[in-house]
């Protein structure tokens, strides 16, 4: 059963060691990462079993985390705001 991380900016999920039923153990950096629209999957690098599903942050989550001084969120927010200036969301 894959573990779901609902808050991308929650501390620790990257470094947490997870165990796969096949006997493999490791953290997210050692897993096979697959990027999707709304989530990023991390699978066992040995057998491909899905171990971790991380929801991508919403703009509100990025703003909240940036407001709390989260370095990565601040970097995200800078990129997002630059993109919003260059490519304003269509209205209506
Ligand atoms: Zn495995």
Q: What is the pLDDT along the chain (92 residues), one digit of tens a residue?
A: 799 999 999 989 999 999 999 999 999 999 999 999 999 999 999 999 999 999 999 999 999 999 999 999 999 999 999 999 999 888 76
pTM of the model: 0.81
| Residue 2 to residue 15: CA distance in whole angstroms | 16
| Residue 7 to residue 81: CA distance in whole angstroms | 20
Distance 11 CA to ligand 1 centre (A): 24
Q: What is the pLDDT of residue 89?
A: 84
Distance 10 CA to ligand 1 centre (A): 25
Q: What is the pLDDT of residue 55?
A: 96
Q: What is the pLDDT of residue 91?
A: 76
Distance 45 CA to ligand 1 centre (A): 7
**34: number of Cβ within 10 Å:** 11
């Amino acid at each position: 059963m894959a573990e779901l991380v609902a808050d991308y900016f929650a501390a620790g999920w990257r470094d947490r060691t997870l165990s796969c039923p096949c006997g493999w153990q490791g953290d997210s950096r050692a897993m096979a990462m697959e990027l999707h629209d709304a989530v990023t999957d991390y699978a066992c690098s040995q057998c491909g079993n899905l171990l971790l599903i991380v929801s991508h942050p919403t703009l509100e989550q990025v703003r909240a985390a940036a407001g709390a001084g989260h370095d990565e969120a601040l970097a995200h927010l800078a990129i997002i705001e630059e993109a919003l200036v260059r490519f304003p969301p269509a209205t209506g």
